[in-house]
Amino acid sequence: MNLSPRRMSVLLAVQRSGGVVAAADSLHMSPSAVSQHVRLLEEETGARLMDRAPTGSVLTEAGRVLAETAERIEGELAEAQRKLAGLDGASPTGTVRVGSFATAVRAILLPLIADLEVNRPGLDVIIEEVEERAGLARLRRGELDLLLLERDARALPPAPRGLGDVPILDESWLVVVPPGSAVPASLADLTGATWIALDPSTAGAFALARLSRQLGVPLATRHVGYDYDVVLAMAHAGLGYALLPELAVRSSVIPDDLHITRLPGIGARQLVVRHRATRTEPGPAVRAVLAALLEQTIPLGTVMG
């Protein structure tokens, strides 16, 4: 049996996105091309890998085995990047300024700083919570060295000239069910729900718009949130269902009567680190912090997957 790692990564995208169309969007491919990759992989394995349904695509047991293998390969490649970054010789030193949004600060950057203080004391990381547009301008001006960005379903366009992107984590969107409301078993069960809208600048707003397209109906919304902790509080108060990334849920205290559920086809959020990419940048200290970020998020991705 001669398996194609490329086709396995396409199958993994289908699993993460919950469907062929959503996977095609995330991979910047046509749906027919995604289906062709899966069909060829089925021919290579001699097994059915995916069951299609109106609400999305669900991997068979054989499909899950291949998707899990593809995820391990993805993790190994990230680990190789980290090790290569450490072959520069002497441990780099210096100050690296990292801009980020709140959930990544709590769940990724604070543990990163604690780890670097022990293992790379020569690196001084300064965290700044920053809004994306302002962060991008400051990155270009050299006031930040790294900027964490969030996007729904890998919808981040290519980095502009002079900048580079390093994906560090894919995580599921989760449905937050207010107390006393019905817990959905599929996307179709969400059709009549009232939602807490998310600020248009957030990845969550794009995820809700994508969900509306998948359901084929406009989503009913009444309230709008920006901070994920505020959105959780709104949902707990019974103001509506909410769509939150797994990292935000994992880093928050969830009341017992608030139900969190993962649904096939709900899609994923991707976290990306953007840096300047010139003949001299990123420098050794920034590369070392990038490698440490990858190492920090590999176990997160394993748990979330």
The more confidently predicted of residues 218 and 28 is 218
* Domain boundary assignment for the chain: 5-82, 89-167+269-304, 171-268
pTM of the model: 0.69
CATH class given for the domain over 5-82: mainly alpha
For residues 218-238, average pLDDT: 93
- Quick one: pLDDT at residue 302? 46
Q: How confident is the model at residue 183 (pLDDT cuts 50, 70, 90)?
A: very high
Q: Which numeric CATH code is attached to 89-167+269-304?
A: 3.40.190.10
CATH fold match for the domains 5-82 and 171-268: no
Lowest mean pLDDT among 119-123, 155-159, 191-195: 155-159
Q: How confident is the model at residue 299 (pLDDT cuts 50, 70, 90)?
A: low
For residues 192-212, average pLDDT: 92
Per-residue pLDDT tens for 243-280? 999 888 887 788 889 999 999 888 899 999 999 998 88
β-pairing verdict for 242-245 and 163-177: antiparallel
Contacts of residues 105-111 at CB distance under 8 Å and 24 or more positions apart, as own/partner, are 105/129, 106/251, 107/247, 107/250, 107/251, 107/300, 108/148, 108/168, 108/169, 108/247, 108/271, 108/293, 108/296, 108/297, 108/300, 109/148, 111/296
For residues 282-294, average pLDDT: 92
For residues 141-156, average pLDDT: 88
Answer yes or no: is pLDDT of 305 > 70: no
- Which CATH superfamily does the domain covering 171-268 fall into? Periplasmic binding protein-like II (3.40.190.10)
| Summary mean pLDDT of the chain | 87
